[in-house]
A and B are shown apart, each in its own frame.
Chain A
C-alpha cells in the first residue's frame, strides 16, 4: 500500500518538488504499526493534473484477502519460508499477538505489527525444514572411525591435542585476533623420553607442565595467523624433545640443590643412620667395625630409607609421618 504510493512518487521523477508539498503523512507511525491503516485512503493523495494530460497516476489495485485464507492445512511450509525472511502477517496463518496491551485491551494483532517484524524469527527452520536440509547435507559428512570408540584408544593412537577457537559475530570486521591462539597439549608419558630427558624437559618447560595430569601445554600466540602458530608450536615441541635428549658437558656439574627428587643414597641422613647403628653395635657387642654394606642390606634400614624418601618428596602428611615413626622404631629397636 505504502509501497505503491512510494513507487508512484518515484515515477514522477522531476516533479519531486511538488510531491513533497502534497504528500500525505504516510510515514507517520502510529502506535506499533509500520504501515498506516489509513493508507488505503491515499488513493487521491496526488491530485490529477488534467492539463498535463498524459500523466495519470497508476490505478491502484485493492489488496485482496491475505494468503493465509487460502493456505491448506497440510501445505509445504518450507516453500512458504525457504530462507530467513522478515515476518509477513499475510503469509503466517497463526493468530499471533505481540506488544504491550492497549489500556484495558489485548496486545495488538499481527497485521502491521512492528514488534513481530523486528524480532528474529525461525519460521524458515521448522523441524520439517531442518530434516530436509540435513538430508541434503548427509552425503557430505563422514563417519567417525568405529575402532576409536573409547577415550583411552583415542589417547593411545592420537596423543597430541591441538586446541583453537573460531569466532563468529557481526561487526565492521569478520576477523577476531583471538582466533590465532593455538594450544598444543601432549602427555609426556606418550613421548619417547628416558629418565634424564624427562627431567631436562621438565626443567625446560617450567610452568607449562601440569604434574597432576602429566600434560604439557604449549600456548602460541606470537604469530598473526593460526597456521603459523600451529607450525611454531610443533617446532617448539620438536626442539624441546631433541634438546632434552642432548647431554651437555655442563650438566655434569649438577649439584644437590638442582636435584628434582630427594634420593637417600649419599645423603646426610644415610651417613647419620649408619654412624648411629655402627656405634650401637660396637657399644652393644664390643666387636670391631661392622661392615656398612651389611647394614645397608638390612630390611629395617631399607624401610627407614623408604620412609625418609617419601617424607622428603611428598611432604608432611598423616601416613608419611606414621610410616617414618614405625621405621625409626624398628631400626633403633625401641
Chain B
C-alpha cells in the first residue's frame, strides 16, 4: 500500500515561538512557506503551513493509497526561447535532484500567428501594418512518478514559472480495475437469464 505524506500543521508551534516569524521570512527559500508563515501568528485558526528550516519537519504518513503516474508530459509555452532554455535547465535539474526519471526533452516547432491590420483609423486601405505572435514550446516527459512526488515537483516547478510562460501538464494515472467490474452481476442468475432480462429490459 502506498502511503501519502502530508505536511502537518505547525500553527500551534508557531504560537509558542513568535519570533520565528521574522527569521522564517528571511531564511526560507520556498515562496509558499513565506506567504503562509508571514501572514499570521495565529491563535485559533489551524492552517497547514510549510515548515521552517530551523524546525524539524513533522511529516505525517497516512495509509491512503498513493496515485501512480507512469507518464506525465509537461508542455511549456512562451514567447522567448531563451527563457524556455533556462527553464528547461531548471526543470531537468530539479527532476534529477528529486530522483525522477526524465524521458525526452525536446522542442516542438514554434507557432507564429500573424495579423494584418489597417495602419490608419480611417481609409488608406493600401497601407497596412503586420503583427506576429511567436509561441515557442518545450516538452518534458517524466516517467514513473508517485502522487506525492508529482505534487511536490509540480508545486515547485509551477511556483517558479517565469512571467509570460504557460504550462500544460498531461497526467496519465494508472489504476486497478474497480471491484464491481471484476465479475458480471448476472452470473448468479445465469440459469434463468432470459426471464430476468425480460423483467429488466
Contacts and interface: CB of A to CB of B under 8 A. Distances in A.
Interface of A: 78, 82-84, 119-120, 122, 124-125, 127, 129-145, 148, 151, 154, 157-170, 186, 190-192, 197, 234, 237-238, 241-242, 245-249
Nearest to A184: B175
Contacts of A249: 194, 197-198, 201
Contact of B175 (A140, A144, A162): A162
Interface stretch (B36-44, B125-133, B156-164): B156-164
Interface stretch (B10-18, B106-114, B165-173): B165-173
A137 B94 CA distance: 10
B182 to A, nearest CB: 6
For the residues of B in contact with A, the DSSP-based class is mixed
Interface string B72-113: 000000001001001100100110011100000000000000
Given A127-B93, A130-B97, A140-B152, A191 B177 contact: yes
A130 B3 CA distance: 26
Contacts of A167: 166-169
B176 interface: yes
A132 B98 CA distance: 11
A129 B30 CA distance: 11
Given A84-B162, A120-B162, 6 more contacts: A120-B80, A131-B97, A132-B29, A159-B174, A161-B173, A167-B169
A237 B181 contact: yes
Nearest to B169: A166
A130 B156 CA distance: 10
Contacts, number: 177
A160 B29 CA distance: 39
A143 B86 CA distance: 28
Contacts of B70: 151, 154, 161
Contacts of B117: none
A121 to B, nearest CB: 9
A163 B172 contact: yes
Contacts of B197: 246-249
16 contacts: A124-B160, A130-B97, A138-B97, A140-B151, A142-B2, A142-B146, A144-B145, A144-B146, A154-B70, A164-B173, A168-B167, A237-B181, A241-B181, A242-B185, A245-B185, A248-B197
B139 interface: no
Contact of A133 (B2, B3, B29, B181): B29
A153 to B, nearest CB: 11
Nearest to A131: B97
A161 B29 contact: no
Interface of B: 2-5, 7, 26, 29-31, 34, 53, 57, 59, 66, 68, 70, 80, 83, 86-87, 90, 93-94, 97-99, 144-149, 151-153, 156, 158, 160-178, 180-187, 193-194, 197-198, 200-201
B200 A246 contact: yes
A190 B149 CA distance: 28
B163 A234 contact: no
B104 to A, nearest CB: 16
Contacts of A83: 29, 31, 34
A118 B173 CA distance: 39
Contacts of B178: 160, 234, 237-238
Contacts of A130: 90, 93-94, 97
B68 A158 contact: yes
Given A82-B29, A142-B2, A238-B181, A125 B90 contact: yes
Nearest to A133: B29
Contact of B86 (A122, A145, A161, A242): A122
Contacts of A127: 93
B5 A142 contact: yes
B159 to A, nearest CB: 9
Contacts of B156: 133, 137
The 4 closest A-B pairs by CB, nearest first: A134-B97, A245-B184, A169-B166, A158-B174
Nearest to A237: B181
Nearest to A171: B166
A141 B149 contact: yes
A191 B174 contact: no
Given A120-B162, A165-B170, A158 B2 contact: no
B163 A120 contact: yes
A191 B182 CA distance: 7
B152 A158 contact: no
Contacts of A158: 68, 174-176
Nearest to A83: B31
A206 to B, nearest CB: 20
Given A136-B29, A140-B7, A122 B148 contact: no
A137 to B, nearest CB: 5
Contacts of B4: 142
Contacts of A78: 29
